[in-house]
Amino acid sequence: MKKEKKIIVKHIGSARNLKELSLLKENASYWIKKHTNQPSLFSFKSKKNLPSFIPLSKCEVSGIKYTFVYEVISKIFNLFKFNFNNQKLFLDLVLIRIIEPTSKLESFVLLDELFGIVHQRRNFYRLLSSFVSLKEIIEEKILFFAKKNLDFDFTLVFYDVTTLYFETSKDDDFRNYGFSKDNKPNQPQIVIGLVVNKEGFPISYQIFEGKTFEGHTVIPVILNLKERYQINDLTVVADSAMLSFSNIKKLNEKGIKYIVGARVGSLPFKIIKEINQKLNQTNGAIIRFKTKNGDLICDFSSKRFLKDKHEMEKQIQKANNLLTKKGAKITKVKFLQNKEKEKEKYILNTKLIEKTKLLLGIKGYYTNLTTIDNQEIINQYHNLWHVENAFRIAKSDLKMRPVYQFKKQTIQAHILICFMALAVSKFMEIKTGKPIKKIIKLLKNIVDVKILNTLTNEEITLRSKITDEVKQLLHHLSLWY
């Protein structure tokens, strides 16, 4: 008689009681049905046609993805109507800029690692021109979103500029040298003019070549908005760097209201003395009078006085130290002046010190708003910090600079991606009251774990529990899961 040979096709597991045996039989039946197509002699019933029990010893973690944060931001993209045809690559680059900003090439790697999304890198350069051409459409979508969700109108906008430097020493007609706000005078740059609402939500932007004087940017940006959207009632708030007689004249000619910082120190000494006497170093005191640049409003702050006084005394001390130290090399110091224009002979500039003392604690503002309360004018000017904060988010959280692109078109695409990321980030911050870094950290805590059943080679995905804090976050964003 021929000896029979036993072949073990699959070992499902070992059971210690009838319940475990039943569960193992269920797994075995599922495996047989899936891998052999052999009909079962017994009935097989299970939810979703899967075994209800998988021994832990037969499970392997095959990967972790952060699909949840991708889903949340994608839903916010839908709120913005960022649903362009055949532009998924573009939107994914915006999304990864919010979650984990890095270079464009590294972004492709992260999209795959974090979400399992694969894009061909060559498509980025092929589709680049179509990205850049979307700028006006994107700004219109963002403006519509702001009107609908943030009660925005153009009665009050805030404007400021910043510079973005390049990691190179080579310049051209677009990237060139100018006054750097990043303290990078030896590197070429571009200038960005940004318009935001009172909460720092970005509305529009414009790119200028690096050598452009910031005071020359405000008129083209604001006039473009007024003409493009046919705005009748528009007030722009900007700092003193934007102030010039020609700028104010142009704003008045075009019927645009303004609140701008005043360089009170450039006023005649007689007027400075008069302002000082009227304010009388009284905390909260405000005066207003007419000038050729509009109404000048000045206020006095005791807190500002102490800060200005400390800075003045520090500069005077520095000047005296240079005068008394033999052989000291005289550098540019605020309160020193050449004595009779003789080289290397300096004296204290007593007139400048006297004027500075009169201005301690005083801040000035020009406006052509005649029916608005003085304190309201001052309060609105102080809201300019929202523009500075928007630039901080763009530069630090979204890593808008340094810029590594060299061609004008790729630079424009980079700025557009960052602008969209800034709009989404600011909306999330405004609605939740949390910084974008904190929001992303909370969302990334919800992970999808992929588990492989080695008995059947089936892969299932389990999502970690959505915490109450994340649920509250989603509620503020008008999103539900």
Instruction: Please indicate, yes or no, if residue 464 is contained in any of the structural domains.
Output: no
Instruction: Please indicate, yes or no, if residue 445 is contained in any of the structural domains.
Output: no
For residues 319 and 205, give the distance between their C-alpha atoms in angstroms, rounded to a whole number: 42
CA distances to 187, 335, 347 from 343, in Å: 32, 17, 12
State whether residue 61 is helix, strand or coil. strand
Nearest 5°: the CA angle 402, 405, 411 is 95
Same structural domain, 109 and 177: yes
Same structural domain, 182 and 107: yes
pLDDT tens profile 64-109:
999 999 999 999 999 999 987 778 899 999 999 999 998 888 999 9
Same structural domain, 265 and 193: yes
Same structural domain, 289 and 369: yes
Residue 414 makes CB contacts below 8 A (sequence gap 6+) with: 104, 400, 403, 405
For residues 429 and 351, give the distance between their C-alpha atoms in angstroms, rounded to a whole number: 48
Same structural domain, 372 and 355: no
Question: Is the CB of residue 202 less than 8 Å from the CB of residue 426?
Answer: yes
Same structural domain, 231 and 325: no
pTM: 0.83
Instruction: Please indicate, yes or no, if residue 199 is contained in any of the structural domains.
Output: yes
**Residuewise pLDDT in 10s, the chain (481 residues):** 556 677 777 777 777 777 777 777 777 777 777 666 665 555 544 445 555 556 666 677 878 999 999 999 999 999 999 987 778 899 999 999 999 998 888 999 999 999 999 998 888 878 877 888 999 999 999 999 999 999 998 899 999 999 999 888 888 888 899 888 888 888 999 999 999 999 999 999 999 999 999 999 999 999 999 999 999 999 999 998 877 888 988 999 999 999 999 999 999 999 999 999 999 999 999 999 998 888 999 999 999 999 999 999 999 998 888 888 766 666 677 888 876 655 567 788 899 999 999 999 999 999 999 889 999 999 999 999 999 899 899 988 888 888 888 888 889 999 999 999 999 999 999 999 999 999 999 999 999 998 887 766 777 888 999 999 999 999 999 887 6
Range of the domain at 335: 304-359
Residue 394 makes CB contacts below 8 A (sequence gap 6+) with: 400, 418, 422
The two beta strands, 257-262 and 189-196, are unpaired
Same structural domain, 92 and 206: yes
pLDDT tens profile 32-74:
776 666 655 555 444 455 555 566 666 778 789 999 999 999 9
Interhelix angle 408-432/468-476, rounded to 10 degrees, is 110
Look-up: residue for tokens 């805030």?
Answer: 158
For residues 278 and 298, give the distance between their C-alpha atoms in angstroms, rounded to a whole number: 10
Same structural domain, 397 and 348: no
Same structural domain, 292 and 375: yes
For residues 333 and 328, give the distance between their C-alpha atoms in angstroms, rounded to a whole number: 13
CATH code of 278's domain: 3.90.350
Question: Is the CB of residue 390 less than 8 Å from the CB of residue 194?
Answer: yes
For residues 66 and 450, give the distance between their C-alpha atoms in angstroms, rounded to a whole number: 11
Same structural domain, 324 and 232: no
Instruction: Please indicate, yes or no, if residue 175 is contained in any of the structural domains.
Output: yes
Question: Based on the structure, what is the number of domains in the chain?
Answer: 3
Same structural domain, 91 and 119: yes
CA distances to 174, 183, 207, 401 from 186, in Å: 16, 9, 20, 15
